[in-house]
Structure 1
Amino acid sequence: MLDDIDRRILRLLQADPARGVPDVAGAMGLTVAKVTRRLDRLREDRIVQGSHVIIDWAALGYAVSVSLRITLDKTVSRAFDDFLAAARQVPEVIEIQTFLGRVDVRLSLIAKDLADYQGIYREQVLTLPHIADIEALMTIATVKSDENLPL
Structure 2
Amino acid sequence: MKESTKPDLDKIDKKILKLLQQDGRISNADLADKVNVSAATCYRRTQRLIDLKIIQSVRAQIAPEAIELSALVMVGVVLDRSTPESFSNFETAIKKLSIVLSCYLVAGEFDYLLKIRAKDMTDFNKLHSDKLLALPEVRQLRTYFVMKEVIENAPMPL
TM-score (ref. length: structure 2)? 0.86
**Distance (Å, rounded) in 1 between the aligned partners of 2:99 and 2:157:** 32
The aligned counterpart of 1:92 is 99
Secondary structure of 2:104's aligned partner: strand
**Distance (Å, rounded) in 1 between the aligned partners of 2:24 and 2:140:** 40
TM-fit CA distance, 1:50: 2.2
The reply on whether 1:36 has 2:43 as its aligned counterpart is yes
The percent of aligned pairs where both chains have the same amino acid is 27
CA separation of 1:147 and 1:39: change in aligned 2, threshold 3 A: same
Instruction: Indicate the RMSD between aligned Cα atoms, in angstroms.
Output: 1.7
The reply on whether 1:64 has 2:71 as its aligned counterpart is yes
The reply on whether 1:127 has 2:116 as its aligned counterpart is no
**Distance (Å, rounded) in 2 between the aligned partners of 1:102 and 1:5:** 42
The aligned counterpart of 2:53 is 46
The aligned counterpart of 1:149 is 156
Q: 1:63 touches 1:110 (CA, 8 Å); kept in 2?
A: yes
Unaligned runs of 5+ in 1: none
TM-fit CA distance, 1:52: 1.7
After superposing the two structures, state which structure 1 stretch, 70-79 or 53-62, moved more: 70-79
Unaligned runs of 5+ in 2: 1-7
Q: Give, as a single letter, the amino acid of the residue that structure 2 aligns with 1:50.
A: S
The aligned counterpart of 1:25 is 32
Alignment of 1:111-126 (within 5 A): 111-126=118-133
Secondary structure of 2:20's aligned partner: helix
TM-fit CA distance, 1:86: 1.4
Q: Give, as a single letter, the amino acid of the residue that structure 2 aligns with 1:138.
A: F
**Distance (Å, rounded) in 1 between the aligned partners of 2:69 and 2:63:** 9
- Paired residues in the alignment total 151
Q: Give, as a single letter, the amino acid of the residue that structure 1 aligns with 2:62.
A: I
**Distance (Å, rounded) in 2 between the aligned partners of 1:4 and 1:94:** 33
Q: 1:66 touches 1:137 (CA, 8 Å); kept in 2?
A: yes
**Distance (Å, rounded) in 2 between the aligned partners of 1:129 and 1:146:** 29
After TM superposition, the runs of 4+ consecutive aligned structure 1 residues lying more than 3 A away are none
